[in-house]
Amino acid sequence: MGSIVGAGLISHAPVIMFPERMRIEANGGRDFTLATGLNRLRKDVFECSGHDLVLVIDSHWTTTTEFVVKSHGKRAGIFTSSEMPTALHQIPYDIPGDPEIAHTICAEAGREGSWAAAVNDPYLPIQYATLNLWTYLGQPETAWVSISVCQTATTADYLKLGRIIMQAVKKLDRRVMLIASGGLSHIFRPLSQLRSHMNGNPDNIVTAKARAADEQRIAWLTAGHHKSVIQAMPEFLAFEPEARFGHYLMLAGALGGENCRIPGERFSDYESGIGTGQIHLWFNTKEVRSA
């Protein structure tokens, strides 16, 4: 029986891909903990977990009529971001896949009355919400499989797909790391202000109310109160969380939804990404086998 051996709400903020010198300069003389925290996560968790598969819920990969799971045997190439080509350009990647888990998730979705498709089209783009984290946390022989967020999905749909992911994992002999790649509140500073608000200090979050909403959810998650986060989703949507917080909700669904009591360990400070809320939280699942 397969298991989820770790799970995390992890930021993919583009600043983590800047050279260290540029990060320190942008952050007023010290590095972003979003970057140093990923190095610590790799050393303390990923290098000693014995996992053989990473499932990434990619908040930058937005689909419309269904969830989509990448089912390629391998993805390799060179990536330049269409969103930020001056910051994220010509990044090489060579990532093994796992078609079996992709097809198993989609088969489970069909049985459960959800909509998901396994796609191995060689022209399907890769997103930096996957690639940035693979750059820090990936290992040459370990498969990474990306899962989209569906923009027409509701909170209930996201939680259901998370349960489906867990059911699929249990059917296969896999030790899985589950990553919800994305941030919290996601309202950017206006262009005219961006260059003067590059610092990660949370004072640069776009509004005090957005910061307070993020900090409340961080407090809930570090205490293991996933039920509070889920039940307060209508209020949080007012602060435009990234991908309607679908990446986190799918992770929560896989770990038990409102019944999940796993506390999150901080692997970074709460930092601003040009106005948006960012943090790394890791949930030690102790090999969760049921949801």
pLDDT score recorded for residue 291: 39
Read off the pLDDT of each residue in 137-155 and give the average, rounded to a whole number: 97
List the one residue out of 271, 169, 162 whose CA is nearest residue 226: 162
Q: What is the largest CA-CA distance in the chain?
A: 53
121 and 73 in contact (C-beta within 8 Å)?
no
- What tokens were used for 93? 């990647």
Contacts of 21 by beta carbon, 8 Å cutoff, 6+ apart: none
Q: Domains, the chain, ranges and CATH?
A: 3-283 (3.40.830.10)
pLDDT greater than 70 at residue 139: yes
Q: What percent of the chain has pLDDT over 90?
A: 96
Read off the pLDDT of each residue in 33-38 and give the average, rounded to a whole number: 98
Q: What is the pLDDT of residues 75-121, one digit of tens each?
A: 999 999 999 999 999 999 999 999 999 999 999 999 999 999 999 99
pLDDT score recorded for residue 286: 76
CA distances from 255 to 32, 100, 187, 251, 284 (A): 29, 21, 28, 6, 11
d(CA 272, CA 214) in angstroms, rounded, equals 11
User: What mean pLDDT, rounded, does the chain reach?
Assistant: 96
Read off the pLDDT of each residue in 53-66 and give the average, rounded to a whole number: 98
Of residues 285 and 241, more confidently modeled: 241
pLDDT score recorded for residue 289: 47
CA distances from 33 to 215, 229, 273 (A): 17, 24, 12
- What tokens were used for 283? 């949930």
- DSSP tag of 45: T
Helices (H), the chain: 20-26, 33-44, 99-111, 128-137, 155-171, 191-194, 208-222, 226-231, 233-236, 246-254
Read off the pLDDT of each residue in 262-288 and give the average, rounded to a whole number: 93
pLDDT greater than 60 at residue 287: no
Read off the pLDDT of each residue in 117-136 and give the average, rounded to a whole number: 98
pTM of the prediction? 0.97
Read off the pLDDT of each residue in 31-53 and give the average, rounded to a whole number: 97
Label residue 290 by pLDDT band (50, 70, 90).
very low
Q: What is the pLDDT of residues 217-271, one digit of tens each?
A: 999 999 999 999 999 999 999 999 999 999 999 999 999 999 999 999 999 999 9
- DSSP tag of 124: P
Q: What percent of the chain has pLDDT over 70?
A: 98
